[in-house]
Structure 1
């Protein structure tokens, strides 16, 4: 069950929504360095549908987590990781995750997955997958990137033109303050 998000003028946000196998992560792998090269500090929040491990059995962090530490934060001069168990919990709460990255002051938060949440989105679409376009039922979708020509509302981008997608995302970040004011308290039209 999704909740409402409190969209903030100082935290540009864009969901990357697509059916499985469309290439969300592959696109982000190419897009993030391009955006970083353009001077943007980009955070990514990724939804995982399955149990996953970020540490290894036998390592100190794993042993401490299994002993009940909640949360456990492991840090070195090169990276840090925050791990928490969420047994019996619902799906991840995007509002909580956004609050966790906010103190790091990213200039853009890209959200992979969480396609049912009410947030502005870029839909990725490949007609060969024979899945329906989400833009028809989701007023939050601002643009669709496809590998085939489309006639739909919002901006239509070429899924294989990463430069054009990066330019659109950069423009989205610039438009964010005005967009958030125009859509405060309601669904986009």
Structure 2
């Protein structure tokens, strides 16, 4: 059974920093985690001059690079639309919990990550999929559970409470 929770917030809110703190906190509790990160801009994990880059530049739809330590599969859209979150999640092996960073407009359970100094609006008043909040300032309204961004154990508790209550999002 695989459960999913997202970290959603504006750029600069601390989503990646929180993610890199949550992963070892989950592992310490015996929870296996995979992540899915949305990239907002054209990105490339490959570089010109590398064989895999040349394979893709020549027109390969998929290139799998493998070593004794890891493997990576790169798939070129070649003009197709960006795949939906559910299709991307289907590419992951089953695990206890998938934490999604980004995809804030998608309809899945999320923890809002908010930093007051950014001056950005809160997501939760408009997004009914926000289950809890991690912020450096108390959220308005007080109707959602929240933890301070520096309290990683409390945020881990929030993530686990909501992810476990939501059940099997992926239908595995």
Q: Distance in 2 between matches of 1:90 and 1:81?
A: 21
Which of 147, 150, 154 matches 1:164? 154
What residue number does 1:4 align with?
A: none
Which of 36, 50, 62 matches 1:59? 50
Given that 2:115 and 2:135 are in contact with CA atoms closer than 8 Å, whether structure 1 keeps it comes out as yes
Whether 1:39 and 2:30 are equivalent positions in the alignment is yes
How many corresponding residue pairs? 168
Q: Distance in 2 between matches of 1:148 and 1:63?
A: 48
| Structure 2 unaligned regions, length at least 5 | none
Q: Distance in 2 between matches of 1:113 and 1:92?
A: 14
Which of 109, 129, 133 matches 2:118? 129
In the superposition, the TM-score normalised over structure 2's length comes to 0.90
CA shift, 1:112, in A, is 0.5
Q: Distance in 2 between matches of 1:79 and 1:58?
A: 21
TM-align CA RMSD: 1.6
Higher helix share: 1
Which of 116, 126, 129 matches 1:140? 129
In the superposition, the TM-score normalised over structure 1's length comes to 0.83
What residue number does 1:93 align with?
A: 84
Q: Distance in 2 between matches of 1:74 and 1:158?
A: 40
Given that 1:123 and 1:143 are in contact with CA atoms closer than 8 Å, whether structure 2 keeps it comes out as yes
CA shift, 1:92, in A, is 4.1
Greater RCO, CA 8 A, separation 6+: 2
CA shift, 1:69, in A, is 1.5
Given that 1:16 and 1:113 are in contact with CA atoms closer than 8 Å, whether structure 2 keeps it comes out as yes
Given that 1:47 and 1:92 are in contact with CA atoms closer than 8 Å, whether structure 2 keeps it comes out as no
Given that 2:33 and 2:98 are in contact with CA atoms closer than 8 Å, whether structure 1 keeps it comes out as yes
Given that 2:107 and 2:129 are in contact with CA atoms closer than 8 Å, whether structure 1 keeps it comes out as yes
Q: Distance in 2 between matches of 1:91 and 1:73?
A: 20
CA shift, 1:28, in A, is 0.4
Which of 144, 155, 161 matches 1:154? 144
